[in-house]
Structure 1
Amino acid sequence: MAVTGTYQRGAGRRAAASQARSGQAGASRPRPAARRRGEKGGVGGAVQRTERKIFGVPERFMRPRLILIATVVLLTAFGCLMIYSASSISSLTSDVLGNDPAYYLKKQLQFIALGGVAAFVLAKVDYHEFTNGRASMPMWGAMVVVLVLVFTPIAGQSTYGASRWISLPLIGNLQPSEFAKIGIVWLAAGVCQQRFDDGTIDDAQFVKNGVLAAVLPLVLIVAQPDKGTTMVIGVALLAMLFFAGFDRRYLGMIALVALAGMVFLSVKDSYSLRRIQIMLDPFQDYYNDGYQLAQGQYAFGSGGLFGVGIGMSRMKYSYLPMAHNDFIFAIIGEECGLVGTLGVLAAFGVIAWQGMKIARCASDLSGRLVAVGCTSLLAFQMLLNVCGVIGIFPLSGKPIPFLSYGGSSIMASLLIVGALVSVSVHSSLPETVHDRTRRTWQQVADESDPGSLTFVSDARPRSARGAVRQEAQGRGAGSAQPQAGSPFRVVAGGAQGRSRGQARPQRGRVTTDANGRRRIDLGPSASDRLRGGSDGPRTRR
């Protein structure tokens, strides 16, 4: 303790002298914040960031995962509340629904339970199984088959002039394009991994695999027609190509061609063209095609800043069609006001931010692209719905993830979250050069005491150190030797030369000075040896 205190006092004096010299020189620069705190920079800060854990998992993996899951849970719970509020009157007055005001809420809870279980299972499965693993090809085949079944009279169901649903027993109608979104993201991430990271395929094979993985399913989705889902998937694919390092010139050309194609399809179809005209002025045909959009704007106007209160909406009394589905954002604006709508947008902003953090911490390119693609799917679909409801983009018929009623929508959204969590769970810290060096360390232990390992031996006076060196040289032939090429070795310390159970020899003396401080006697100093004595000074001849 005396040695330590002396060192600290000496270090303090040196630091004070250095600061005084800096002040005399006129360089009164404060130390950087990273070095001052010891948390954000330097070796100590890096070690602290690496070792900080949450539930035994490094913080940079667990924190975005927990925030993402918590935000999704809150949005889903808020969505159930708003679905009940928006649909209670219409279901209460419907004989077909059994005059049950909680009919849609009960159905939504069933879909949430199914989607939650599927998302939990998906989070446990390694995402590599779907990108380039054994499950990638069966998944692609099942996806294409289901998308083709939509057009068959056996399973296909046409609603509102579009063939987008298939009928399944015990579940009802499901929209395959909602589930195809995540499959396309998985397959596209695997193709980009092969081209840009592994380098196992060339440009021609990259285009071929990309057409099979993404373009073919997109063509089947456009043919339904489902332009809203096509736009969502297209934006996600463009974001993935951008983060994969695709040439930006070609990426811009692809974006322009895709935009021109969507404009052509919107102008070609009469009902899509009508949606564009209604967006520009919903009151020109108030009682027909513009009625829903106009009523939605009335709902926003009635809400004001803080809304009329949860459950107090007037538009849900059959004034606003599909209030619990596509236009639930208008009901949120009426009952929760501008503050409520901004809160929803902020929640999706948190999801997007945490999704990008998961992408940044992913172990490989495919993981980063899966996280980027899934985050883009959720964020852009929300924007597509919100922009359509407030009248700055044509209505697409896409619901808001986690908020709108719909089995396919909520289950697909939860599966996307499960895919994001899978990337976070199966990411690992990258190996550094220091990790590789530690694996080459070898232990040199004494044969008489195997398994003993001490890094610090007993304190010895200077007069005894020569005998210790001679002892070590004498038993050098019987000691274990490190493997060839090992850059570092750990040598057993004070346990050498003793059998088990033998008392540890006392090689240093502990004395107490006049002030009661205990210190280790390290032997005579140089001045004591020069003064003479029985032994006399030790010189080398």
Structure 2
Amino acid sequence: MADGRTTVARERGRQGLGEGLRGVTSALTAWLTRPLASFHLLLAVFGLLVTFGLVMVLSASSVESFSEAGSSYSIFLRHLAHCALGAVGCYAAMRVPVWMLRRFSHVFLLVSLVLLGLVLTSLGARDNGAQSWLVLGPLSFQPVEPAKIALALWGAHVLVTKRALLGQYRHLLVPVVPAALLMFALVMMQPDLGSTVLLGVVLLALLWFAGAPLRLFSAILLGGLTAAVALVLVGGYQIGRVSSFLDPQSDPRGSGFQANQALLALADGGMFGEGLGRGWSKWQYLPEAYNDFIFAVVGEELGFVGCATLLVLFGVTAYVGMRIAARNTDPWIRLVAATLTTWLVAQAAINIGYVVGLLPVTGLPLPLISSGGTSVVTTMIVFGLLANFARHEPEAIAALRSLGPGRVGRLLRLPTPAPYRPPARRSPPAGKRTAPPAEKPSGKSGGGASRARRNRSSTGSSRRPRASR
């Protein structure tokens, strides 16, 4: 009797749980069908990632900040200032008209190339074996970060403009690939392998979403692999990174020290971690604990649950970015949104991959989580661009123009986006118009003129002399 009651209770519990899950799923599906769902979801993920990064930078940098400046908040305050500057850039990216971004994309590219060239002069500063920082008075930044955005904007503009001719290789590759190779060469001369890889990701994403044939990617990947090997052989510190990846125990106190300490920190975290602020790796055991290897600190202090939460946030970023690209009708917005999303997710995957030992160390920060200046500002600008594109979805434009800007738009004072209008087809001048093509014998009638020509040919044209034809 008791067993029967227990079985019935379990069945009711399963039914209640199933109904609850179905209710949550239906509510989430209904929310995602709203016109501004992409915009709101992107802002939510953006806010969570920024907050997560602020908390982890404060925890991971407190010891080194106190040992260097006598205050546990010096590195955190610098990171907070960079986030404030990035928030201004994000807001500006949400407000700038889309047509202006596309029209001046070639200017952005030229400025980026000039800045990358200036890095190789006396104005450049060397850090961690690479001369990748440009120092202009009190201002110092990495030009390669905004160069990624410039390549995405300009490359998408060229490929969309020539989309009717992309079946021919010379139109598909020129001038996007030569400009990208010039940018690669300038970055490889620094040398900066990680940034070169990300620029390659931007180029591959542009070609992939533009519809390039698959056989082209094998040649590009082969060339990129050859260039990466050459860069590793030229840069001395990068050889140590590759050798430590292939054999982590070959130099545990030298080139493999950082990777080994990261794995030990992740192992100490377990399922739920040691607790926020209680990790030991930041006590000079793990170099760059608040920067490139902050994911190891997340695993040590928050455990597998914290790492999984961070992975879910980046997974949602990938989903909403591709959703924005799929729901837009402007081909340029579609291509740029997909490319920028691929870049962000690829950078996160590469950083997490080398922290857990799946990839060689490349020195790329974890977007919005690692402490950094130019990288944080650039990433926040990318989120601003994606938010701008989310408001240009056809359903979002219709809702904004009919129902008003909404609470978030009213709070941020965002302008109402204009609907997308495809470019009008240009007709040739009256003096240069060509005659319509001859009709095929088996084709269908194309109009009154074709029918008149057929009537004339069936009546008197056959009786004309041969010389008059």
- TM-score, length-scaled by structure 2: 0.74
Residue 79 of structure 2 corresponds to which residue in structure 1? 108
Displacement of 1:269 = 3.4
After superposing the two structures, state which structure 1 stretch, 399-408 or 207-216, moved more.
Answer: 207-216
Displacement of 1:330 = 0.5
Residue of structure 1 aligned with 2:356, choices 358, 367, 390: 390
* Aligned equivalents of 1:169, 1:418: Cα separation in 2: 28
Q: Which has the higher contact order (CA 8 A, sep 6+)?
A: 2
* Aligned equivalents of 2:224, 2:57: Cα separation in 1: 35
* Aligned equivalents of 1:430, 1:207: Cα separation in 2: 34
Q: Do residues 158 (structure 1) and 126 (structure 2) align?
A: yes
* Aligned equivalents of 1:128, 1:112: Cα separation in 2: 27
Cα deviation 1:137-184 (Å, max 9, x = unaligned)? 32122111111110111x2111122110012445x4211111111111
* Aligned equivalents of 2:375, 2:151: Cα separation in 1: 16
* Aligned equivalents of 2:160, 2:112: Cα separation in 1: 21
State how 1:15-30 maps to structure 2 within 5 Å: none
Helix, strand or coil at the partner of 1:398: coil
* Aligned equivalents of 2:117, 2:240: Cα separation in 1: 28
Helix, strand or coil at the partner of 1:285: coil
Structure 2: segments with no counterpart, 5+ residues: 1-25, 398-469
Q: Do residues 236 (structure 1) and 191 (structure 2) align?
A: no
Residue of structure 1 aligned with 2:246, choices 280, 283, 297: 280
Structure 2 counterpart of 1:111, which letter? H
Q: Do residues 90 (structure 1) and 61 (structure 2) align?
A: no
The structure with more helix, counted as a fraction of residues: 2
Q: Do residues 59 (structure 1) and 30 (structure 2) align?
A: no
Residue of structure 2 aligned with 1:302, choices 250, 261, 268: 268
Q: For the Cα contact (< 8 Å) 2:172–2:212, is it kept in 1?
A: no
* Aligned equivalents of 1:322, 1:53: Cα separation in 2: 41
* Aligned equivalents of 1:213, 1:190: Cα separation in 2: 13
* Aligned equivalents of 2:106, 2:155: Cα separation in 1: 12
State how 1:476-495 maps to structure 2 within 5 Å: none
Residue 97 of structure 2 corresponds to which residue in structure 1? 126
State how 1:496-515 maps to structure 2 within 5 Å: none
Residue 154 of structure 2 corresponds to which residue in structure 1? 187
Structure 2 counterpart of 1:180, which letter? A
Residue 46 of structure 1 corresponds to which residue in structure 2? none
Q: Do residues 346 (structure 1) and 320 (structure 2) align?
A: no
Q: For the Cα contact (< 8 Å) 1:196–1:245, is it kept in 2?
A: no
Displacement of 1:418 = 1.4
Helix, strand or coil at the partner of 1:163: strand
Residue 322 of structure 2 corresponds to which residue in structure 1? 356
Displacement of 1:118 = 1.0
Displacement of 1:266 = 2.5
Q: For the Cα contact (< 8 Å) 2:348–2:366, is it kept in 1?
A: yes
Q: Do residues 246 (structure 1) and 217 (structure 2) align?
A: no
State how 1:107-506 maps to structure 2 within 5 Å: 107-131=78-102, 133=103, 135-153=104-122, 155-170=123-138, 172-196=139-163, 203-211=169-177, 213-428=179-394
Displacement of 1:423 = 1.8
Helix, strand or coil at the partner of 1:316: coil
Structure 1: segments with no counterpart, 5+ residues: 1-39, 41-48, 432-541
Cα deviation 1:327-371 (Å, max 9, x = unaligned)? 100000000001111111111000000000000012222111101
Q: For the Cα contact (< 8 Å) 1:195–1:201, is it kept in 2?
A: no
Residue 421 of structure 2 corresponds to which residue in structure 1? none
RMSD over aligned Cα, in angstroms? 2.4
Displacement of 1:202 = 6.9
* Aligned equivalents of 2:306, 2:152: Cα separation in 1: 31
Q: For the Cα contact (< 8 Å) 1:370–1:423, is it kept in 2?
A: no
Structure 1 counterpart of 2:145, which letter? E
Residue 79 of structure 1 corresponds to which residue in structure 2? 53
Helix, strand or coil at the partner of 1:59: coil
The size of the alignment, in residue pairs, is 370
Specify the structure having the higher radius of gyration (Cα): 1
Structure 2 counterpart of 1:303, which letter? G
Structure 2 counterpart of 1:347, which letter? L
Q: For the Cα contact (< 8 Å) 1:156–1:167, is it kept in 2?
A: yes
Displacement of 1:253 = 2.2
With over 3 angstroms needed to count, the CA separation of the structure-2 counterparts of 1:168 and 1:427, relative to structure 1, is farther
Q: For the Cα contact (< 8 Å) 1:195–1:202, is it kept in 2?
A: no
* Aligned equivalents of 1:189, 1:159: Cα separation in 2: 32
* Aligned equivalents of 1:349, 1:81: Cα separation in 2: 20
* Aligned equivalents of 2:51, 2:272: Cα separation in 1: 20
Q: For the Cα contact (< 8 Å) 1:127–1:419, is it kept in 2?
A: no
Displacement of 1:108 = 0.9
With over 3 angstroms needed to count, the CA separation of the structure-2 counterparts of 1:200 and 1:278, relative to structure 1, is closer
Q: For the Cα contact (< 8 Å) 1:306–1:340, is it kept in 2?
A: yes
* Aligned equivalents of 2:182, 2:101: Cα separation in 1: 18
Displacement of 1:284 = 2.4
Displacement of 1:119 = 1.3
Residue 70 of structure 1 corresponds to which residue in structure 2? 44
- TM-score, length-scaled by structure 1: 0.65
* Aligned equivalents of 1:416, 1:430: Cα separation in 2: 20
* Aligned equivalents of 2:192, 2:83: Cα separation in 1: 24
